[in-house]
Amino acid sequence: MDFYEVIRTRRSIRSYKPDPIPEDVLTRVLEAARIAPSGSNRQPWKFIVVKNEELKRKLAVACYGQMFIGEAPIVIVACGYNIHWNRGEYMGDLSMLVDVSIAFTHLILAARAEGLGTCWIGSFSNEKVKEILGIPKDVNVVAITPLGYPRDEDFGEPGPRKPLSEIVSIDKF
Ligand SMILES: Cc1cc2nc3c(=O)[nH]c(=O)nc-3n(C[C@H](O)[C@H](O)[C@H](O)COP(=O)(O)O)c2cc1C
């Protein structure tokens, strides 16, 4: 699939078929995250692939009851290591949020290219997700997504977006 078609047709999917994801497809999607760029190439991430039904259900509850998350055959939890060293004042401790978000975007777009649906989930209890998955103290959850084949195979068009004239300016703000 052409790159621009991938980004144009990706959308948040909130209903999934239970069909399993072939291992080679899953590997390609994870590989897309692995090769993402990061500040100083620190790669401060870890992706937890959750397949266990009970854990998926608990995660959906920890995402404030967004139960569609547990419908997908896989839930991916993207974690970031807290970075405490000086990186030339590049956002300090928060820089891992940028790095993990870039890798997660790679993953989500690769999923679309494979015909898989995702939904970036930012509404969750960090503490509860950490407890469910045994995530260590110096690591935080950045994003979660269900991963699976959409019930409605027509990905369609993304929702409305602001026009370029509103979001781009030349030379000054
Ligand atoms: C940082 C972030 C957090 C989000 N959190 C949630 C969420 O908790 N639950 C949900 O259903 N969608 C969530 N979304 C999806 C957005 O609602 C969605 O991307 C937006 O409405 C645009 O729709 P589209 O993805 O279909 O183009 C989140 C998206 C982002 C980027």
Q: Pocket around ligand 1: residues whose beta carbon is below 6 Å from it?
A: 11-12, 14, 66, 119-123, 158-159
* CATH architecture entry for 3-167: 3-Layer(aba) Sandwich (3.40)
C-alpha angle 93-97-98 in degrees, rounded to nearest 5: 110
Going from the first residue of the chain to its last (173 residues), give the mean pLDDT of each consecutive group of 10, the final group possibly shorter.
Answer: 94 96 98 95 96 98 98 98 73 86 98 98 98 96 98 82 97 98
**Residue 6 burial (CB < 10 Å; 0-12/13-18/19+)?**
middle
Quote the CA–CA distance of 125 and 35 in Å, as a whole number: 28
- In the reported structure, the alpha carbon of residue 11 is separated from the centroid of ligand 1 by a whole-number distance in angstroms of 9
Q: How far apart are CA 152 and CA 141, in angstroms?
A: 29
Ligand 1 centroid distance, CA of 12 (Å): 6
Measured from the Cα of 63, ligand 1's closest atom is 8
What CA–CA distance (Å, rounded) separates 5 from 151? 20
Kindly state the helix (H) or strand (E) to which residue 144 belongs, with its residue range: strand 139-148
- The residue behind tokens 């995402």 is 63
Pocket test for ligand 1, best of 75, 108, 119, 124 (most atoms within 8 A of CB): 119
Which pLDDT does position 47 carry in this prediction? 98
Q: Is the dihedral of CA 56, 59, 64, 69 positive or negative?
A: negative
Ligand 1 pocket mutation, candidates 9, 14, 15, 120, criterion most atoms within 8 A of CB: 120
Say if residue 15 is exposed, middle or buried (CB neighbours under 10 Å; 0-12, 13-18, 19+).
middle
Interval 56-79: pLDDT, tens: 999 999 999 999 999 999 999 999
- Domain limits, the chain: 3-167
**H helices within 86-125, ranges in order?**
95-113
Identify which of 73, 83, 52, 75 has the alpha carbon closest to the alpha carbon of residue 124: 75
Output the CA 63–ligand 1 centroid distance in Å: 13
CA atoms within 13 A on the CB side of 99: 28
Look at residue 84 in the predicted model and tell me its pLDDT.
75
Per-residue pLDDT at 87? 60
- CA-nearest residue for atom 30, ligand 1, is 120
CA of 16 to the centre of ligand 1 (A): 16
pTM for the model:
0.96
How does pLDDT run across 103-120, given as a tens digit for each residue?
Answer: 999 999 999 999 999 999
